Structure 1
Amino acid sequence: MGAGNLTSGGFFAEKTAVLDLPVYILVAIATALLLVGAIFAFLFFRRRAAASRVKHTSVIIPSSTKEISVDRVAEGGVGEVEVEVEVEVEEKKKGLVGVNKGERLLGSSSGASSSEAAERMGNIGWGRWYSLVELEAATGAFSAGNVIGEGGYGVVYKGVLPDLSIVAVKNLLNNKGQAEKEFKVEVEAIGKVRHKNLVGLVGYCAEGAKRMLVYEYIDNGNLERWLHGDVGPVSPLTWDIRIKIAIGTAKGIAYLHEGLEPKVVHRDIKSSNILLDKHWNAKVSDFGLAKLLGSGSSFVTTRVMGTFGYVAPEYACTGMLNESSDVYSFGVLLMEIISGRCPVDYSRPPGEVNLVDWFKGMVGSRRGEEVVDPLMEVQPSPRALKRVLLVCLRCVDLDAQKRPNMGQIVHMLEGDEFPFRMEHRLTRERMLDASNAPTKRIPLLSEKVIAADSERSMWR
């Protein structure tokens, strides 16, 4: 029997119970399967290793809604309310630079250099990513001679980039994680917005614990400097310039409220956050406290945050925030522009410490012309002054629902009709129409003006 098996092929030629196949065929099939499995395993682990390398060198992209608590240190002079605020930011799923606590934003685990990281980043939608080395070179190693502003938020430096363009670099102070939080809020709120009355965000830097924002440089400083600084016996801010600044500011805020989705509530409208270019065009800045408000929300509840003297009373009492809170702050700012006084000034007599209370009292006693800044060489006409005074009073109405929106404020400041008189006329005309139905009413001149103005964009 053994000789017969050898003659016919031996053991490997014997047929098995598996499909009646010989042993050598089964061995060949098993060997082939092992080879195929080894090849697939090799390709799988190679792809996994490549994916791991990409993960370490790519930007972290969060895809969830986070709550950010913001804590801001009070500034000198008129201090800011020192309370925490919870800011809910709907982070973009594509492009938003997100940073986890204790992590570097770009390639820390891979040991990549700043130049390599910058090359990888390029432009992700909010301007260019700058390395710390680039910004140190632009600002002279953040020298004291290049400081153009500072406060509880951090320090702002003037910088010159290699292409000779001038920028303002805001180095956010990391107070209890404040820099990280404000960095995210500001980039989300204003990073992709472009408007002539809003300061443009050129880029940003995030390396280690450093968080910096790079803005376009505005060469004439902020409004606070020109209203309350030492400008000599005669203010360079004439009445026409002041109204131009007020209208530009109103247009910038109107765009935040009515031209964006979700809308943005600034929450820190004040003279130091209004920057001026060499032609006195106003640009609203500092969006670190901004709050996003969805189209389906009439308000959002937060902890109170802002600057003392500018905060709307209903927001200070309830924490309920919406666009009317910015309107109130703008009303205080408009009073400040007209009078040249600070919102709260403890150096003045008791009845004049609070600007809003003093202003209302002066207008109510028909002494409105006395609120005008005495440093203005040429006083405004009574008609122009009365129009702006009435806009001020409407903005700071204690009933938030009676305040106009920012689009209406732009029309009031640009128009010739007094807002109160116009509303009263419209009310009387409607009453006459109701009592004399067959009579066709002739449209008022004021209504024609409003209709014509509505065709123009307030965001030009």
Structure 2
Amino acid sequence: MLLKFPSFLLLLHLLLLLKLVASSPTEELNFTINGFSGANLTLDGVATVSSHGLLILTNNIVEQKGHAFHPSHLCFCRNHSDGSIPSFSTTFAFAIVPEFTNLGGNGLAFVITPSTDFSEAQPAQFLGLFNRSSNGRATNHVVAIELDTVLNVEFQDINNNHVGIDINGMRSNESSAAGYYADDTGELRNLTLISGKAMQVWVDYDGVDSMLNITLSPINEIGTPTTKPTKPLMSFTVNISAVLLDLPVHVGFSSATGSMTSSHYVLGWSFAMGVGHVQALPLDYSKLPTIPRLNLKRHRSRALGLWLAVASLVFVLLVTFVAFAAARWWSKYAELREDWEVEFGPHRFSYRDLFRATNGFGERELLGVGGFGRVYRGTLPNSGAEVAVKRVSHESRQGMREFVAEIASIGRLRHRNVVQLLGYCRRKGELLLVYDFVPNGSLDKYLHYGRAHKPALGWSQRFRIVKGVAAGLLYLHEEWEQVVVHRDIKASNVLLDSEMNAKLGDFGLARLYDHGINPHTTHVVGTMGYLSPELVRSGRATTATDVFAFGVFILEVACGRRPVEELAVGPQGEQLMLVDWVIENWREGSILDTVDAGLGGEYAREEAEMVLKLGLMCSHPHPEARPSMRLVVQYLEGRAALPELSPDYLYFRNLSLGYNEGFDDFVISYPSSVPSASIFSGEK
């Protein structure tokens, strides 16, 4: 027994050593997956594999994320003898099928990561990889190749259809519009990621030269071999070993949806890793699964609706009673539809769907009554998406085509601080606008109403709201394909999402024009107290008139007071103008006394003083003296210092306007004397 015991210990040590070697990360791995039926993958979120072998990362459910990783560990460890780094090559076939034509949400990414636990990651623009606090941290040790279908200004995206190389965060180190270089002509040919068609990506990393190459190509049809373009779409020099260190990592995919959805599919995947030049094996296109047809459910429902309409017409011809019933049905769901509206089809909702979504526009679904109509909460019957439906009265058909064209254009806006306008519906004498539903209601509820039963907004929340609205306005004024003048910026049109982030809403008055073009004179529209002097005089809404309203708005946020208030004492009908009050306090050296007393003195004094002075600067009576929204954003983010200005430079009490003069009674919006709910929210 004494002789056998050491032998037993030796055997035990050998077994432990073998287990350690077996579990350690490798520097070589090769696999090819043509369809994922039976594939050994680690899945989480909504990711799943269909019975036909299709890897489904996300489906048509809003705000979801999905991940799929190969279970083997890898290591991009530097060789201590010669300093070399392993190379890798991977290729995969994918397809992105949007729920609605031309509306993506949000994309997918090939990922190299030390952790497969993304429980704290957010969907939407973070693609299920990071959240607001972790995004951009060097400790993430993540390399990702994103196929992004939404333009996110906060990440400096180049457009809503691009490929990006991301190191530790969603701001791409290198990006390019999706496309490929044709071998025959050398020209860059564009590809639309959300076309619903199959495409292929090659990601090749040379550890010797530290060069990462990304190549994209269409797949004409499943079963037909695809030739890899000779010239990569983009190249980027990066030492992956310095990013990943010596950590064991996994390779795989991540995807997410936002308020709009897409189904993100991977059809096949090949990967190779080793020393020197490596090349992933080609996919067998004859074995790749097919992509599901687009929106089958909606096609079936439309076909059924058409069949019912034909059946109703037959019964109308046969039975007088049925004719009477059909007439009543028609009066209930009738729409005003003209030939020119065909081009705006994707943005048009059926009245019947909106009627069903809002339970017949029932009082229980009423969110509020504003200056331009009543607003209802609804759930679309096909998609289950929550929306806000605004009913606006209109009698004149003059200019309606141009107005609907602008609605369709505004529906293409994509920014985290802008409420999504989804579309419209027309009936005789009535226009219905359909928006995204924003859960926490309008900002004015938190500033002016219900402080006893709503949490008070702290200074940091207010400052973040001001920066969010500024970022949204910058996008509208300068960063979209056309200039969008909102024309009704105010606290009740700023909505707060589930994380109390600001979204600028209600584009019913917005106007568009091309960059570099002077806008035309229109009716004076907007809300009393937010209107600039030149708008009242000329009726011409510009980006400068939006800046004026924004200036009044941020004073309202900082002071917790409305732009125009009836004095509790003094001559009957006398009003307090918020701008005048703040500037008077500045002249007296007590500008911080105007900060909302409800904050209890708990605020950042330098930030508050800067916001108050910026609000006055934006509200200057002369439009040429107001800053652009780009400069405003730089001031708020601390990238530019606010100029030193005296109160005398901004003093304009004598230029305050009689707001009751010169307005079109049918279009001006007056502040209500009672709380009115946000037009996009669930507040009542």
Measured against the shorter chain, the TM-score band is: 0.5 to 0.7
Aligned partner of 2:605 in structure 1 is 382
Look up the match of 1:419. 642
Q: Identity rate of aligned residues, in percent?
A: 35
What one-letter code is carried by the residue in structure 2 that aligns with 1:411? Q
**Equivalent residues of 1:274, 1:285 under 8 A apart:** yes
1:154 is aligned, of 373, 379, 387, to 373
Alignment of 1:261 onto 2:488: no
Report the CA distance shift for 1:349/1:144 in structure 2 as closer, same or farther (over 3 A). same
User: Which whole-Å deviations, capped at 9, do the CAs of 1:133-190 have from their partners, x for residues lacking one?
Assistant: 2111111110011011222311110001233321111111236669958962751451
**Distance of 1:315 and 1:134 partners within structure 2:** 39
Instruction: Provide structure 1 residue ranges, at least 5 long, that are not aligned to the other structure.
Output: 1-106, 424-460
Q: TM-score, normalised by structure 2?
A: 0.42
Assess if the C-alpha contact under 8 Å between 2:344 and 2:405 holds in 1: no
Corresponding letter in the other structure for 1:212: L
2:364 aligns with 145
Q: State the partner residue of 2:461.
A: 241
Greater gyration radius = 1
Asked if 1 retains the 8 angstrom alpha-carbon contact of 2:347 and 2:411, the reply is no
Query: In structure 2, what is the equivalent of residue 196 of structure 1?
Result: 416
CA distance in 1, matches of 2:421, 2:621: 35
* 8 A contact 2:482–2:512 mirrored in 1: yes
Whichever residue aligns with residue 352 of structure 2, its letter is: V
1:337 equivalent among 546, 557, 564? 557
Is the 1:189–1:264 Cα contact (8 Å) retained in structure 2? no
Q: CA deviation at 1:258?
A: 0.2
Deviations 1:1-38 (A, max 9, x none): xxxxxxxxxxxxxxxxxxxxxxxxxxxxxxxxxxxxxx
Deviation at 1:343, TM superposition (A): 0.6
Establish whether residue 397 from structure 1 lines up as the match of residue 613 from structure 2.
no
Alignment match, 1:173: 393
For 1:344-359, list aligned pairs within 5 A: 344-349=564-569, 353-359=576-582
**1:304 Cα shift?**
2.0
CA contact (8 A) 1:254 1:406 kept: yes
Structure 2 unaligned spans of 5+: 1-305, 314-329, 647-684
Distance 1:410 1:138, change over 3 A: same
SS of the equivalent of 2:565 reads coil
Q: Distance in 2 between matches of 1:275 and 1:179?
A: 29
Indicate yes or no: 2:360 matched with 1:360.
no
Give the match's secondary structure for 2:424: strand
Contact kept, 8 Å, 2:408 with 2:423, in 1: the verdict is no
1:196-245 Cα distance to aligned partner (Å, 9 max, x none): 11111223222444421211100011111111111129852110111111
- Alignment partner of 1:132 is 2:355: no
Contact 1:391–1:419 (CA<8 Å) still a contact in 2?
yes
Asked if 2 retains the 8 angstrom alpha-carbon contact of 1:235 and 1:377, the reply is: no
- Gap change, CA 1:269 and 1:189, over 3 Å in 2: farther
Alignment check: 8 A CA contact 1:238 1:378 kept: no
Deviation, 1:369, is 1.5
Q: 1:216 to 1:234 in 2, by over 3 A?
A: closer
Cα 1:188/1:122, change in 2 over 3 Å: closer
Query: Which residue of the partner structure matches residue 457 of structure 1?
Result: none
Residue 371 (str. 1) matches residue 594 (str. 2): yes
1:408 aligns to what SS in structure 2?
helix
Structure 1 range deviating more: 200-209 or 310-319? 200-209
Using the TM superposition, give the Cα deviation of residue 128 of structure 1 relative to its aligned residue in structure 2, in angstroms: 4.8
DSSP 3-state at the match of 1:215: strand
Is the Cα contact below 8 Å between 1:185 and 1:290 reproduced in 2? no
Query: Which digits, 9 at most, give the CA deviation of each residue in 1:384-435, with x for residues without a partner?
Result: 2221122112101122111110111111111176401499xxxxxxxxxxxx
- Return the match for 1:324 from 537, 544, 547: 544
In structure 2, relative to structure 1, the CA distance for the partners of 1:168 and 1:365 (3 Å cut) is: same
Code of the aligned partner of 2:425: C
TM-score of the pair, normalised by structure 1 = 0.61
Higher helix proportion: 1
Contact 2:358 2:365 in 1 (8 A): yes
In structure 1, distance between residues paired with 2:359 and 2:517: 46
C-alpha distance 402-136 of structure 1, shift in aligned 2 (>3 A): same
Q: What's the RMSD between the two structures over aligned residues?
A: 3.5
For residues 371 and 352 of structure 1, what CA distance do their matches in structure 2 show?
17
Displacement, 1:123? Answer: 9.9
